[in-house]
């Protein structure tokens, strides 16, 4: 492990200097390759005089230190907390070396910036006169938060540990000696790696949550619940174990589908310049948060979970198991076949139809059949129609930011096949169709009145969404991220799930 210890105190003979020295001793004893940097010994201008720090040439005393930051696996900053944050010397050093193209870069996707110092961790060791508890509870650790999140975290450095010593003003020699021993122990901890077991676990848990893309699961649950309520089982729905076993099957199937998509689409994700919260995948492979092997294991675990839950469902579900087997078999093929070979439906121009069908009729019919409803009855099919029409706009729009990357790998989404304007026209047309269907179901009482009252909401909402889509069509120039339009279209879908859900619960 390569460790760089940066002393940010203007005086090297300070308590911070001693802390940096003993930490280095511990780190060397832990078997690391360590280099030290005392900022007080450098001759550089801490001020950025040009519009961009890249336009200001680095002094010789900054060229090597910036190289050391790039060299290190683990960065250690030792400095006093003055006025709640770091000394001007350290701030000026960071201003000068943490420049675009070295520490971060602008990009169209994510937050608009991408950290370039990923794969590194950091340790903050700071002293202060304020008692640390007061600093944490009253002042909320502004300096540590700025370093950990707005500076190092922004540049991709994670995790960032923080170790605080104080109050220095009220300390005695014994207290300071204890602090020095604590700093030495912190260096020795590197023998066990840069991350503690807890930090590693939190990092992996966060990566898996990112990979699962849980923001898309609630709509599946809503549609499934609508189907279950429509079946009107004698024992009710939410207290029925069959209902929860059925949703557990769908949950595991959705997990497996998402993870398969992540592995198959990695080529497109790597080239995607316009990724965001609704498009471009979870990027756990692109960012190195998880490996392809880990995702493969996750997929296998999800499929085993699905098989176990489905076996329990078949053993407990009332009525004939034949329709349950048929409905679930079709749903599994369509879900996994969205990206997986041999179907690869999204690569053949059928992805939008697949998603709209599985997330409307597919899961709704599951809820209906699992709770002993007749799959040939007209009710579940009618219930799913407005929802199907409402899903098409959002899934079609999601292909616009991904269009260039998808085209590069031969993924035939509607945006790739029809162009951005063609995709916008499809979204606009289906937005109108969904509003018309919702209003008709409301006015005529179709599907046992499940859509009662929806026309008062979706018609004006559709008018606003159509206006946004029309404005997007009129806009000239290349299109990148469309987060606002995506959020509006996903909100549109929500109404087509909530109205039947509430109406069926209340009947």
Both tokens assigned to 218? 């609630």
Can you say how many angstroms the Cα of residue 446 is from the centroid of all Cα atoms in its chain?
39
Q: Say whether pLDDT at 274 is over 70.
A: yes
pLDDT, position 133: 86
Axis-axis angle for helices 321-336, 363-370 (nearest 10): 160
C-beta separation of 311 from 303 below 8 A: no
Q: Say whether pLDDT at 419 is over 90.
A: yes
pLDDT, position 477: 63
Q: How far apart are CA 163 and CA 455, in angstroms?
A: 58
Q: Say whether pLDDT at 1 is over 90.
A: yes
Q: How far apart are CA 363 and CA 369, in angstroms?
A: 10
C-beta separation of 97 from 62 below 8 A: yes
- What does the longest C-alpha to C-alpha distance in the chain come to? 85
Sign of the dihedral defined by the CA atoms of residues 177, 179, 183, 186, in that order: positive
C-beta separation of 33 from 1 below 8 A: yes
Q: Are strands 104-106 and 113-115 parallel, antiparallel or unpaired?
A: antiparallel
Give the mean pLDDT of the chain. 94
C-beta separation of 454 from 501 below 8 A: no
C-beta separation of 473 from 425 below 8 A: yes
Least confident among 31-35, 36-40, 264-268, 274-278: 274-278
C-beta separation of 210 from 47 below 8 A: no
pLDDT, position 140: 86
H/E segment holding residue 374? none
Closest CA to 462 of 484, 434, 441: 434
Question: Which of 136-145, 264-273, 426-435 reaches the highest mean pLDDT?
Answer: 426-435
pLDDT, position 280: 87
pLDDT, position 109: 74
What tens digit of pLDDT does each residue of 384-396 get? Answer: 999 999 999 999 9
C-beta separation of 397 from 486 below 8 A: yes
pLDDT, position 123: 97
What tens digit of pLDDT does each residue of 457-482 get? Answer: 999 999 999 999 999 999 876 566 88
Both tokens assigned to 167? 């109050």
Confidence class for position 135, pLDDT limits 50, 70, 90? confident
Give percent above pLDDT 90 in the chain.
Answer: 87
Closest CA to 189 of 463, 3, 436: 3
Closest CA to 279 of 404, 111, 397, 105: 397
Q: How far apart are CA 446 and CA 90, in angstroms?
A: 69
Exposure letters 414-433 (e unless 16+ CB within 10 A, then b): bbbebebeebbbbbbbbbbb
Contacts of 272 (CB under 8 A, 6+ apart): 109, 279, 280, 281, 401, 402, 404, 405
In eight-state DSSP terms, residue 100 is B
Half-sphere exposure of 78 (CA within 13 A, CB side): 29
Confidence class for position 182, pLDDT limits 50, 70, 90? very high
Q: Say whether pLDDT at 136 is over 90.
A: no
What are the DSSP calls for 312-373, one per residue? HHHHH--S-HHHHHHHHHHHHHHHHTTTSTTT-GGGTT-HHHHHHHIIIIIHHHHHHHHTT-
pLDDT, position 142: 92
Higher pLDDT, 507 or 24: 24
What tens digit of pLDDT does each residue of 75-114 get? Answer: 999 999 999 999 999 999 999 999 999 999 888 777 678 8
Both tokens assigned to 467? 């206006």
What tens digit of pLDDT does each residue of 347-376 get? Answer: 999 999 999 999 999 999 999 999 999 999
C-beta separation of 418 from 426 below 8 A: yes
Q: How far apart are CA 257 and CA 279, in angstroms?
A: 16
């Amino acid at each position: 492990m390569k460790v760089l210890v940066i002393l940010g105190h203007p005086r090297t003979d300070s308590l911070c200097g001693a802390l940096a020295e003993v930490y280095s001793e511990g780190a060397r004893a832990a078997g690391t390759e360590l280099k030290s940097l005392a900022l007080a010994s450098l001759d550089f201008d801490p001020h950025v005089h040009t519009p961009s720090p890249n336009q200001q040439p680095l002094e010789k005393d900054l060229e090597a230190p910036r190289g050391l930051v790039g060299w290190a696996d683990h960065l250690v900053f030792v400095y006093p907390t003055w006025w709640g944050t770091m000394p001007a010397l350290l701030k000026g050093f960071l201003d000068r070396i943490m420049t675009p193209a070295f520490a971060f870069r602008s990009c169209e996707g994510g937050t608009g910036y991408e950290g370039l110092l990923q794969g590194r961790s950091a340790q903050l060791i700071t002293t202060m006169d304020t008692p640390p508890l007061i600093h944490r509870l009253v002042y909320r650790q502004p300096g540590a938060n700025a370093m950990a999140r707005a500076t190092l975290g922004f540049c991709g450095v994670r995790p960032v540990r923080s170790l605080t010593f104080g109050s220095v003003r009220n300390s005695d020699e014994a207290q300071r000696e204890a602090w020095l021993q604590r700093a030495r122990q912190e260096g020795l901890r590197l023998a066990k790696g840069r991350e503690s077991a807890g930090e590693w676990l939190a990092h992996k848990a966060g990566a898996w949550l990112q990979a699962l893309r849980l923001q898309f699961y609630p709509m599946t649950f809503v549609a499934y619940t609508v189907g279950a309520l429509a079946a009107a089982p004698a024992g009710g729905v939410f207290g029925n174990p069959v209902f929860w076993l059925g949703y557990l099957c769908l949950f595991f199937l959705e997990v497996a589908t998402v993870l398969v998509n992540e592995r198959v689409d990695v080529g497109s994700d790597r080239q995607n310049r316009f990724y965001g919260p609704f498009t471009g995948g979870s990027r756990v492979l692109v960012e190195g948060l998880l490996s392809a092997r880990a995702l493969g294991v996750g997929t296998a675990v999800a499929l085993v979970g699905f098989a176990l839950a489905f076996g329990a469902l078949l053993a407990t579900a009332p009525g004939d198991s034949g329709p349950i087997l048929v409905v679930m078999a079709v749903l599994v093929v369509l879900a996994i076949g969205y990206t997986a070979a041999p179907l690869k439906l999204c690569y053949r121009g059928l992805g939008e139809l697949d998603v709209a069908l599985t997330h409307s009729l597919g899961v709704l019919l599951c809820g209906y059949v699992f709770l002993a409803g007749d799959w040939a009855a007209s009710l579940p099919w009618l219930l799913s129609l407005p929802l199907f029409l409402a899903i098409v706009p959002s899934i079609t729009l999601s292909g616009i930011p991904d269009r260039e990357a998808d085209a590069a790998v031969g993924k035939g989404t509607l945006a790739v096949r029809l162009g951005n304007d063609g995709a916008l026209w499809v979204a606009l047309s289906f937005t109108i169709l969904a509003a018309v269907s919702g209003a008709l179901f409301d006015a005529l009482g179709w599907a046992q009145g499940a859509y009662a009252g929806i026309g008062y909401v979706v018609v004006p909402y559709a008018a606003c969404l159509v206006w946004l889509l029309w404005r997007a069509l009129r806009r000239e120039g290349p299109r990148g991220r469309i987060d606002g339009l995506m959020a509006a279209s996903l909100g549109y879908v929500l109404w087509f799930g909530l109205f039947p859900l509430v109406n069926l619960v209340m009947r």
